[in-house]
Amino acid sequence: MIWTTQPRSEVPGGLAARQIGDGPPLILIHGVGLRAEAWAGVMPQLSAQFAVSAVDMPGHGGSPLGKARELTDYVSRFVDYVQSLDQRVFVAGHSMGALIALELAAQFPDRVAGVAALNAIYRRTPDAALAVQARANALNAEARASAEPTLERWFGRNPTVWDADAANACRTWLNSVDLEGYAAAYRIFAYHDGPDDMALKNLRMPVIFQTGSHDPNSTPEMSKTMASLAPVGRADVVAGAAHMMPMTHPGAVANALLHAFGVTK
């Protein structure tokens, strides 16, 4: 199974990363509760054009949480990694990883050559905001909640149509993730309303906002609105995909990144 845990390297910022390929650097950032292996279906399709690093977010996989409690703390860890490289980088983030990627590009436009925001949130409805905040407030750092409600939000309400291998991998990760790291990241994600409009308008590099047609929480409308604000923004909606698009539709994700970042097969 492609989601099997793979060896990691330590990179600046106190982060752990899976690294393959050769070319300009491309950093992949997963979402809350996941780990670098969530990109396992995408990485081989990018490794001929990029030096790909799938990084464990702080408090996940092999990256210790440290003092990360605000989004800026997470971003600063990735800044350390980016600044250690001797060239501009491409960055792709999924879900909360998209928030980190966009903030990184906004703060350091001279170091980021292109950005992909996958299944990103932007201006949740009041009901959606209250629901996600209630889930964050209910997290207990000493008691692990059932993974099944989360899997339903990620893959859809009907388990018979789930990608079984992807869902089982996510279940395993949710059942083993560091509880403190998970809770810290989820609270940040729950109380964030998406990227600042002015920050989006000031992004001068290519940016793609991609989501699934069946993602109820990171909707196509969110991606289209963000793309309309970014000067070189583009929206892409993957038909039939839900929130775990990088795992269930890796080909569509890889092709979108290659196109957005100026690489053609």
Residue 21 forms part of a structural domain: yes
Query: Which has the closest alpha carbon to 56: 104, 111, 96?
Result: 96
Per annotation, catalytic residue among 94, 214, 243, 249: 243
Indicate the pLDDT class of residue 17, thresholds 50, 70 and 90: very high
Q: Is 243 among the catalytic positions?
A: yes
Q: What is the pLDDT of residue 234?
A: 97
Statement: residue 224 has pLDDT above 90:
yes
Residue 3 forms part of a structural domain: no
Residue 4 forms part of a structural domain: no
Residue 265 forms part of a structural domain: no
Residue 183 forms part of a structural domain: yes
* Element (DSSP H or E) covering residue 220: helix 220-229
Residue 236 forms part of a structural domain: yes
Residue 60 forms part of a structural domain: yes
Angle, alpha carbons 93-95-98 (nearest 5°): 35
Q: What is the pLDDT of residue 138?
A: 92
Per annotation, catalytic residue among 53, 63, 95, 217: 95
Per annotation, catalytic residue among 119, 217, 218, 223: 119
Q: Is 192 among the catalytic positions?
A: no
Query: Based on the structure, what is the number of domains in the chain?
Result: 1
| CATH number, position 211 | 3.40.50.1820
**Six-digit token pair at 13?**
């910022």
Q: Is 60 among the catalytic positions?
A: no
Indicate the pLDDT class of residue 121, thresholds 50, 70 and 90: very high
Note down the domain range covering 22. 9-260
